[in-house]
Amino acid sequence: MSVRGQGSGADEVTCLRLDKWLWFARFFKTRTLATRFVQSGKLRINKQPVSKPHHPVRPGDVLTFALRGGVKIIEIKALGLRRGPAPEARALYEDLSPPPVRSAGQTAEPATVAPRPPGTGRPTKRQRRDTDRFKGDAGSSH
């Protein structure tokens, strides 16, 4: 489905299969998973629903789909020639997705451990040593 550029002699791809591009851009681990996702009908190209994995995509197309609990809005910047490393894959698109919306109870800081009053829960190593000294090393073999 790719068309090669003429005149320059360079291999210039002007369009690429949708499932192949999603795989190249590392949105899916395998091309088969990308194909199944497109066939599910949960993807739009330029606001038009698409369910054919062989649908051609070009630079400038905008993809909209739900992935990993959020909506992704992706503008295709380049088509790529292979499934390369992650930095190379990130250069194929620009993420236009809005930042995730936080619920009222969520904060940006990670959760902290709740304070525990002394003397509750399992004793620390220091507390066990103190207990052994108090008992007179009765059960210790060292």
Q: Which residue has the higher pLDDT, 4 or 119?
A: 119
Q: Where are the domains of the chain?
A: 16-95
What Å distances lie between residue 142 and 53, 124, 132, 139, CA to CA? 71, 19, 12, 9
CA 46 vs CA 62, 78, 126: distances in Å: 5, 16, 65
Cα gap 131→123, rounded to integer Å:
10
- Report d(CA 108, CA 46) in Å as an integer: 33
Q: Quick one: pLDDT at residue 141?
A: 55
Rounded Cα distance between 123 and 121, Å, is 6
Give the pLDDT score at 97.
Answer: 86
Give CATH superfamily name and number for 16-95.
RNA-binding S4 domain (3.10.290.10)
Q: What is the mean pLDDT of residues 52-70?
A: 91
